[in-house]
Structure 1
Amino acid sequence: MNDWEKASTVVVFVLFGIGVSKIEADNRVYPALFSFGDSILDTGNNNNLVSITKCNYPPYGRDFYGGRPTGRFCNGKNPSDLIAEGLGIKAAVPAYLSSNLGIEELASGVTFASGGSGIDDTTANIQGVLTLSAQLQLFLNYITKLTAAVGQQPAAYIISNSLYLVSAGNNDIAITYYNLKLLQPFPLYVNFLIAGASNFIKSLYELGARRVWMFSTLPLGCLPGGRTIAGGPLRICAPIVNIQAQTFNSQLSSLVNSIRSTLPNYDISFVDVYTPLLNLINNPLPQGFTNVGEGCCGTSIFGASGLCNLLSVCPVPSTYIFWDFAHPTERAYRFVVSSILHSHTTTFLSFSSFNSSISD
């Protein structure tokens, strides 16, 4: 970090009235964290949308601060929160569409992600949630709001030096392809998704983002819903669905490498979420997990979006890898995020609270 960057960081925190010392400000590698995409990163943007794809009701959030549902598709924190925590940015990342966000919250990062969204606009539209292009429009609105509040130079510093997370592709494969586009050869659909991902990545760059982590899909065939649909009577990990996820992930990784080599100063990385989660599923007992195939609060993909059933919540979520039919528990996410941070940064703070939460 050069002298101008250090000075700008301190100015930013002074303007926002945040009680942070110069040393703490200088040591913060990323001034803020932003996230886009789907339910892996959404922290509540769907709450006020006309959609059944939402989770702002119990038992969601039972292990979040105060035991309250916030719109996170989890029992507690999700990767938006956990990566911000692990990098020392802040403890939780609010949804941009939350009401009454103060300048301190806006300046240190928000999420624009929307549960149920995908690269294919069809995926979001059939569920009444935010497309990636709609999320970019919200980001443009955010930039205008931030600039008006703090001035052009501090806002530009935040936009260009912050970390951006993107998770998209899960719902395109698991929902849209299997429900609407199954007659289309899967390789052609993947090509369509990769072209859409390319446009989105380049749009982020044009808006000023320079540090981006593109998430792979989850091992979709091993999700409780994937096992139910395609895993046969024994509900094994569905091999075809996992192969399709791997095909998409491989091409997404190649796309990221290509864009990084062609756009100047674009620090964009492919983040493998698939492998650490699959490793946990295949070898759960050493980490204290005893259930890999069921969701703690329900496994059925039917009913109200296939989400949680308040009457069937397991007594100990920390022993389950999955919270509902498609989303990991906070404790499982912590294992995955720890692997990501160790692989993609030398600045993982290894907070005692972060690590102790994994071992609980």
Structure 2
Amino acid sequence: MKDNTSWSCSCSSLKLCLLSLLVLTETVVAVKLPPNLKIPALIAFGDSIVDTGNNNNVKTVVKCDFHPYGINFQGGVPTGRFCDGRTPADLLAEEVGIKSVVPAYLDPNLKPEDLLTGVSFASGGSGYDPITPKLVAVISLQQQLKYFEEYIEKVNHLVGEERKRFILANSIILLVAGSDDIANTYYDLHARPQYDVDSYTTLMANSASDFVTKLYGYGVRRIAVFGAPPLGCVPSQRTVGGGLLRECAEYYNDAAKLFNSKLSVKLDLFRKTLPGIKPVYINIYDPLLDIIQNPAKYGFEVSNKGCCGTGVIEVAVLCNKITSSVCPDVSSHVFWDSYHPTEKTYKVLVSLLINKAINQFL
């Protein structure tokens, strides 16, 4: 991986420069925030849904730093986002008035001021099960926490202890994982034969709980944890488990719902056991399922295939400009490739979920 530790600033006083940048990053807020809610940064952990380019710097096949990925990103640049455009981390950061793009922590062009408004540590293909990232050689959640420790030290060096504590306590922390555990590790690769679905989803929920507890120990308080989506209705899983008609594979969906029920209970318990914590469970399952089942209601035409290639199996290296064509109208599709939604779908989901989530951070 590329070294990411050297910084430069043209101002004569580094801290004065950075503090002035904090003022300049007070952008127009798309969502009207309560006057007592200050959100200095957005920080993301997890998998490909919020990976904004970290896998570019990892020796893995789980990459997307090539066309047609990024065709609707700024300037049509493939940044390593598993999407045609921006991810939920980018869109949420913009909605709360922080910035329009959340850079990857391992981006070699990362600037010091980027740290103060948030970065992503996420890695496509990662998950709550320690085996999941090992299967595809990506960054584990444990390693993401180690990078977060580096991040905290850098922020402390840049703006001091008091501001560092404020950033940690008041930023929105996204945790998005679990899909690869269920779809890849458990069902597709059968890498955990000693577990049934109930015990495996318990392992996942316990791992998520441990991760949140560790974040709390670093001083984090506002944590938004995404549940698993309706995985059985994702194009690739329809192809794998949906039969000749490629219907939703309900056993994937059942596992996702079981995990979600356990995760939401654990997050509720934190409010009683960890003073000051404000964990928010993000129910992504129901709104995404409604979009898939009723695409026209949200301005879509196709919800059972991705836009890239045939749309039934292409993802990451299989979705490339040499072997895969792109559908004529990306905005008509719920999914970009066979596993990841389009930016338009993410925008719809963010608009449906953000107000409720923000209110829970008060």
Is 1:195 aligned with 2:206? yes
Residue of structure 2 in register with 1:18 after alignment: 21
Q: Work out which of the residue numbers 321, 327, 331 in structure 1 matches 2:334.
A: 321
C-alpha distance 205-277 of structure 1, shift in aligned 2 (>3 A): same
Alignment of 1:144-223 (within 5 A): 144-178=153-187, 179=189, 180-182=191-193, 184-223=195-234
Q: Please tell me whether the aligned partners of residues 306 and 325 of structure 1 are also in contact (alpha carbons under 8 angstroms).
A: no
Number of matched pairs: 337
CA distance in 1, matches of 2:332, 2:58: 32
Letter in 1 for 2:40: P
Q: Please tell me whether the aligned partners of residues 82 and 316 of structure 2 are also in contact (alpha carbons under 8 angstroms).
A: no
CA distance in 2, matches of 1:247, 1:222: 16
Is 1:30 aligned with 2:39? yes
Residue of structure 2 in register with 1:355 after alignment: none
| Structure 1 residues 214-270: Cα deviation after superposition (integer angstroms, max 9, x where no partner) | 001111000001100111100011111111110001110011111122100000010
Q: Compare 252-261 and 66-75 and name the one that shifted more.
A: 252-261
C-alpha distance 27-132 of structure 1, shift in aligned 2 (>3 A): same
Letter in 2 for 1:99: P
Q: Please tell me whether the aligned partners of residues 162 and 211 of structure 1 are also in contact (alpha carbons under 8 angstroms).
A: yes
C-alpha distance 347-206 of structure 1, shift in aligned 2 (>3 A): closer
Alignment of 1:247-266 (within 5 A): 247-266=258-277
Quote how far apart the aligned CAs of 1:73 are: 0.2
Q: Please tell me whether the aligned partners of residues 236 and 313 of structure 2 are also in contact (alpha carbons under 8 angstroms).
A: yes
Quote how far apart the aligned CAs of 1:284 are: 0.7
Is 1:75 aligned with 2:78? no
| Identity among equivalent pairs (%) | 44
Quote how far apart the aligned CAs of 1:307 are: 4.0
Alignment of 1:210-249 (within 5 A): 210-249=221-260
Q: Please tell me whether the aligned partners of residues 231 and 237 of structure 1 are also in contact (alpha carbons under 8 angstroms).
A: yes
The root-mean-square deviation of aligned C-alpha atoms, in Å, is 2.2
Quote how far apart the aligned CAs of 1:182 are: 4.6
C-alpha distance 41-304 of structure 1, shift in aligned 2 (>3 A): closer
* Structure 1 alignment gaps of length 5 or more: 1-11, 349-360
| Structure 1 residues 72-110: Cα deviation after superposition (integer angstroms, max 9, x where no partner) | 000001100010011111111000000132222110000
Give the match's secondary structure for 1:126: helix
C-alpha distance 248-74 of structure 1, shift in aligned 2 (>3 A): same
Quote how far apart the aligned CAs of 1:165 are: 0.3
CA distance in 1, matches of 2:292, 2:25: 43
CA distance in 2, matches of 1:291, 1:13: 51
Q: Please tell me whether the aligned partners of residues 291 and 297 of structure 2 are also in contact (alpha carbons under 8 angstroms).
A: no
C-alpha distance 321-94 of structure 1, shift in aligned 2 (>3 A): same
CA distance in 2, matches of 1:296, 1:24: 33
Q: Please tell me whether the aligned partners of residues 159 and 208 of structure 1 are also in contact (alpha carbons under 8 angstroms).
A: yes
Letter in 1 for 2:109: N
CA distance in 2, matches of 1:32, 1:23: 11
| Structure 1 residues 184-217: Cα deviation after superposition (integer angstroms, max 9, x where no partner) | 2111111111111111110000011000000011
Quote how far apart the aligned CAs of 1:121 are: 1.2
Q: Work out which of the residue numbers 279, 292, 298 in structure 2 matches 1:287.
A: 298
Q: Compare 312-321 and 21-30 and name the one that shifted more.
A: 21-30
Quote how far apart the aligned CAs of 1:312 are: 1.6
Give the match's secondary structure for 1:117: coil
Give the match's secondary structure for 2:136: coil
Residue of structure 2 in register with 1:339 after alignment: 352
C-alpha distance 291-303 of structure 1, shift in aligned 2 (>3 A): closer
Give the match's secondary structure for 2:223: strand
TM-score normalised by structure 1 residue count: 0.88
* Structure 2 alignment gaps of length 5 or more: 1-14, 29-34
Give the match's secondary structure for 1:80: helix
Give the match's secondary structure for 1:17: helix
Q: Please tell me whether the aligned partners of residues 13 and 20 of structure 1 are also in contact (alpha carbons under 8 angstroms).
A: no
Letter in 2 for 1:322: F
Quote how far apart the aligned CAs of 1:47 are: 0.2
